[in-house]
Chains A and B, each alone.
Chain A
Amino acid sequence: MSKQEQHWEKSKGLLMMTLAIWFVFSIGIFLFGAEMNEVTGPFGYPLTYWFTCQGSLGIFVILIFWFANRQEKIDEEFGFSERGDD
């Protein structure tokens, strides 16, 4: 496998992981919205309500930064990162 193919394999792996986490917090948990709302979540809000107000939203922010850092590492590993600016 060429360097470029390996790089793409790793990038695809990262994409799958990112989309899996995205799926859980944008779709997965809302399959059980009614049940989860019985539980008390962070700061005392009902759990599903908290996810819709803050939880899922905040997790997406962190997820994107995490993804960006991981992808940068992969690019560096194969020598494909850009030089200089960011």
Chain B
Amino acid sequence: MLKGNFIDNLPKVYGIYTGGFLAFIIIMSIGEQMGMSAKAIGICFVAFTVAIYAIIGYLSRTAQADAYYVAGRQVPTVFNGMATAADWMSGASFVAMAGGIYFKGYGYMALLVGWTGGYVLVASLLAPYLRKFGCYTVPDFIGTRYGGNLSRFMAVVVLTVASFTYVTAQINATGTIASVALDIPFQYAVYVGLISILLCSMLGGMRGVTWTQVAQYIVLIIAYLLPVFWISNKIGAGFFPHFMLADEVSRIAELEAQFGFVKNSAENLKEVPKGLAGITKAHSAVNASPWAFISLALAMMMGTASLPHVMMRYFTTPSVKAARKSVGWSLFFIFLLYSSAPMLATLSKLSLMDPTLPTGIIGKSIADVQAIDWYQNWNSANLMFISDFNGNGTLELNEFFMGGKAVVLATPEIAGLPYVISGLVAAGGMAAAMSTADGLILAIANAISHDVYYKIIDPKAETAKRLVVARVLLVVIGFAGATIAALEIQGILGSVIWAFDFAMSGLFFPLVLGVWWKRANKEGAVAGMALGLISGAAYLVWVRTGGSGFLGITQLTFGIFGSAVSLVAMVVVSLMTSAPNAATQRMVDEVRVPSGRSIIGKQ
């Protein structure tokens, strides 16, 4: 059926795959009509998709270092864009983003702007230059550009702190979804999730992860967009929600004014299960100060440009030119989901709030709402709660509470979509969390195996031995992440945002100045990484333990402080010590020109 090499056949391969997935959805919906149980559908969706990823992971197995670390540097622009989008959009983006917008409104939208705007920095400041460099990992760039094992090792430390913070949240998310879909306890589900993740990456390294991520992107984008369009059409909001929800947005503002935001007493709030929230902020009004919004957006943008699991995706393109274009495609594929999240939040909120819609519950009698099937289901899943605080028998806006995940997970059911959509959404969430976890675990394991083991400990190691070390590390790091995830310390989103702050504190300026400032030297880079990471972490601890903070920098934006310290330390120490030698300066000159051979390949 397929002639020629795999790369030339990519559009055909993934075209067939997408068709197959759509056919699977149709078969499942026929199954539902014929009386298949909701649980069976959920299991089928998750098991079927995970099995496909495992097959792709197996087919991509390799024994070559180039394929294992950078997918052989032959991933075409558009496909690398899809893989990056899956790598990027985590379980949090998929499951929690619409919920965050739903509850926090404008203040939360800073994350959307930050998580997209960061790609402009990636494209213009870093990706093409690091691609020209020809490195395998981000610490590989730092170690070669600045020289010395200490700078390389510091970069590995920052990378590990940031990525590990992030990965526990992702394994947690795969565990949550697996436990719901397969109906097993969370502490086992976490390991089921982990094994699925390792199946994709263990045999093929970056090559396996690349081709599974493309497959995961296709699943997650279908799973996100299909319900949004369906709900919008079903409640008559418009056939293309993105362009047509202005009336709904203003209707929500009208209803907010009508119901009012009543503040609940602390005593009443004690009744509400942990993790659930009510609607307390306006949907479309500006409810955060400019600095609160801008500082959060800025922290996320700089964090985006410093997260190694994203940067290393651009090492896999065939050329520098392709790396630049690929960043554009990545952001385009991300945009498809991010621009839909606010639409889902709007549709979800309106369906629940508007008393004139059949799904509206605010203003109805408490007894009626408690009798609704979906309310009972989600209440027993601890994601919804109502209580008659004022005792008038009617549900008020401040008496309805919901978990952030419920916006994505429950809205299809509330709007009366068939269960097959809920199964699809579970598969999408699983794909999003798995693809990000894979990228992160691989980033950490590759950095330790390539930079610490191969470059520092045993530079003479043979390829076969290096790849064994890389795979052992992959499993060890995965298990460590899963074990911590099983403890459930922070909510999904808290730790995701911290990862961005850690990354920007330690890596943003050492990376950017490595390309853009020839005078930056080893001593400066080491100081920048060490002091940036330490001061950022110290600020986080200080604020978490009751410190007041300054300049409005919170525990979500501590990277602004960390990176400022990093910049100052790097510039001051660089200028106080001697300039880099002529060979290093020439190296920087060559990095700035796309043509010619890569720096590392030449050595």
Contacts and interface: CB of A to CB of B under 8 A. Distances in A.
For the side of the interface on B, what is the size category? 35 or more
Contacts of B117: 22, 25-26, 56, 60
Interface in B262-321: 284-286, 288, 290, 293-294, 297-298, 301, 318-321
B324 to A, nearest CB: 4
Nearest to B331: A61
| Interface secondary structure of A, over-half rule | helix
Given A81-B594, A82-B595, A85-B318, A37 B112 contact: no
Contacts of A77: none
A84 to B, nearest CB: 8
Contacts of B255: none
A17 B319 CA distance: 24
A85 B326 CA distance: 13
B538 to A, nearest CB: 27
Interface in A3-23: 4, 7-8, 11, 15, 18-19, 22
Contacts of A4: 589, 592-593
Q: Which of A26, A45, A63 is the most central at the interface, judged by chain B CB atoms within 10 Å of its CB? A: A26
A54 to B, nearest CB: 5
A22 B138 CA distance: 25
A65 B124 contact: no
Nearest to A46: B284
Contacts of A18: 120, 124
A26 B109 CA distance: 11
Given A22-B121, A80-B595, A48 B321 contact: no
Given A7-B593, A52-B109, A27 B243 contact: no
B319 A85 contact: yes
A61 B123 CA distance: 11
Interface in A25-64: 25-27, 30-34, 37, 43-46, 48-49, 51-54, 56-58, 60-61, 63-64
Given A8-B592, A18-B120, A64-B120, A58 B335 contact: yes
Nearest to A33: B286
A18 B144 CA distance: 28
B26 interface: no
Interface residues of A, number: 48
B455 interface: no
Nearest to B246: A44
B339 A72 contact: no
A51 B426 CA distance: 30
Given A25-B117, A57-B338, A85-B322, A19 B124 contact: yes
B244 A43 contact: yes
B61 interface: no
B342 interface: yes
Interface in B113-136: 113-114, 116-117, 119-121, 123-125, 128
A75 B286 CA distance: 43
B288 to A, nearest CB: 8
Interface string B66-81: 0000000000010000
B195 interface: no
B1 to A, nearest CB: 26
Nearest to A35: B286
Contacts of A65: 325, 328
B284 A86 contact: no
Contact of B125 (A15, A30, A32, A51): A15
B120 A60 contact: yes
A64 B123 contact: yes
Q: Which of B109, B250, B286, B293 is the most central at the interface, judged by chain A CB atoms within 10 Å of its CB? A: B286
Contact of B119 (A8, A15, A64, A75): A64
B112 A57 contact: yes
Interface in B375-391: none
B297 A43 contact: no
A84 B319 CA distance: 9
B166 interface: no
A54 B327 CA distance: 18
A58 B340 CA distance: 12
Contacts of B301: 26
Given A18-B120, A64-B324, 11 more contacts: A22-B121, A30-B290, A30-B297, A43-B246, A57-B335, A60-B116, A60-B117, A64-B120, A64-B123, A81-B321, A85-B318
Interface of B: 77, 106, 109-110, 112-114, 116-117, 119-121, 123-125, 128, 242-247, 249-250, 284-286, 288, 290, 293-294, 297-298, 301, 318-322, 324-325, 327-328, 331-332, 335, 338-339, 342-343, 589, 592-595
Please give me the 6 A-B residue pairs with the lowest Cβ-Cβ distance, nearest first: A44-B246, A52-B109, A26-B117, A68-B324, A64-B328, A53-B342
5 contacts: A33-B106, A53-B342, A61-B331, A64-B324, A68-B328
